[in-house]
A = this chain, B = another copy of it.
Amino acid sequence: MPGEFDFIHWIRSRQSVGGIVSLAAGDDLAIVDWPQNDLLLVGVDQVLDGVHFDSAKHSPELIGRKVMNRNLSDCAAMACLPAAALVSVALPQAMSLEYARQLYTGIQQAGETFGCPIIGGETGTWEGRLAVVVTILGRSAGIEPIRRAGARAGDGVYVTGPLGGSIHGRHMTFTPRVELARKLAQQAPPNRPTAMIDLSDGVSRDLAHICAESGVGAVIDADSVPVHPDAMQIAPQEPGSGLHHALHDGEDYELLFTCPGRPVEGTRIGTITAERGIFLQMGTMRVVLEPGGWEHRNFR
């Protein structure tokens, strides 16, 4: 493919920035006039060929959408407003400029859905596989961020949608819950979430993150967990398989949160406890819910 500079020109020509962004890609760094009184939230998320997507199977637009949506989902997890993003692409030499354009178009379109422009980045070709990294900047914009720490004994545990089986395709096509997170977070206590995370690693693992940061435990009510039809398909003949996948599969990208009052949305699936440990209540039986989520080491 042509040199990286042509690609940077193309990217610049596609960018429409303004507002707080006073200088976008094309210099050594972008310049942002950060709004006074807004906290800056920032994170980075990568997608790797063979781990988070399969370049032989998924289109470049879909891959681009996924990496941006994962970052937008991180914004949702903290109830902040996506403000701007930077992209870094390691492109295999065999991939064409057209491929890179499609990848970038996917990234850009996913960002535009939430008013999040690309303000910088870098594309390099190499003999390695396709890796795409997005850095996202979010604004508190009038809403105090919701952290993982903050859950208290007695809080309900909630999820924003049915879970499990995202491997059937939803892991590439999900919609990040940015607007829903802002709606949940702008409620007054006790109806405002006390802790929140997006479900990238699965309930069993992501709830463990909340409990560890908050210094609490939890009991999940098996009958209350909303199981996605996709989760039922994986091993329909096996009893409890749907629930298992709903609790342990990753990449649902729904929100998992705790709340002492009545949240404006969400399905209650359990209760936070002062006693440490995470348990699954199945009728009269209570079992330890071992973290079984995915550690991003196997392809999904």
Interface residues of A (CB under 8 A from B): 3-5, 22-23, 26-34, 36, 38-46, 48-51, 74-75, 77-78, 80, 84, 86-88, 90, 119-122, 124-129, 131, 133, 135-138, 145, 147-149, 197-198, 213, 295-297
Cα distance A45–B77 when bound, in Å?
Answer: 26
**Bound-state Cα–Cα, A31 to B36, Å:** 15
The answer to whether A88 touches B133 (Cβ under 8 A) is: yes
Q: Which residue of B lies closest to A30 (CB)?
A: B42
B40 touches A40 (CB 8 A): yes
A122–B45 touching, CB < 8 Å: yes
Work out how many copies of this chain go into the complex.
2
Chain B: minimal CB distance from A207 (Å): 14
Main secondary structure of the interface of A (DSSP, over half): strand
**Is B30 a contact of A41 with CB atoms below 8 Å?**
yes
Q: Which residue of B lies closest to A93 (CB)?
A: B297
- In this complex, the member of A36, A125, A126, A127 whose beta carbon has the largest number of chain B beta carbons within 10 angstroms is A126
Q: In the complex, what residue of chain B is closest to A294 when comparing beta carbons?
A: B3
Bound together, the chains give a CA A147 to CA B27 distance in angstroms of 7
Given A46-B90, A124-B48, A124-B296, A29-B138 contact (CB < 8 Å): yes
Pick the most buried of A4, A44, A138: most chain B CB atoms within 10 A of its CB.
A44
Contacts A26-B213, A39-B32 given: A46-B133 contact, CB under 8 Å?
yes
Q: Which residues of B contact A119 (CB under 8 A)?
A: 42
A-B contact pairs, 17 of them (CB 8 A): A22-B39, A26-B148, A28-B43, A28-B78, A28-B197, A29-B80, A30-B42, A34-B39, A42-B86, A44-B121, A44-B122, A45-B88, A45-B122, A124-B296, A124-B297, A127-B129, A133-B133
Q: Are A86 and B43 within 8 A (Cβ)? A: yes
- Contacts A42-B30, A42-B32 given; does A125 touch B297 at CB 8 Å: yes
Contacts of A40 in B (CB 8 A): 31-34, 40, 137
State A3–B293 Cα separation when bound (angstroms): 11
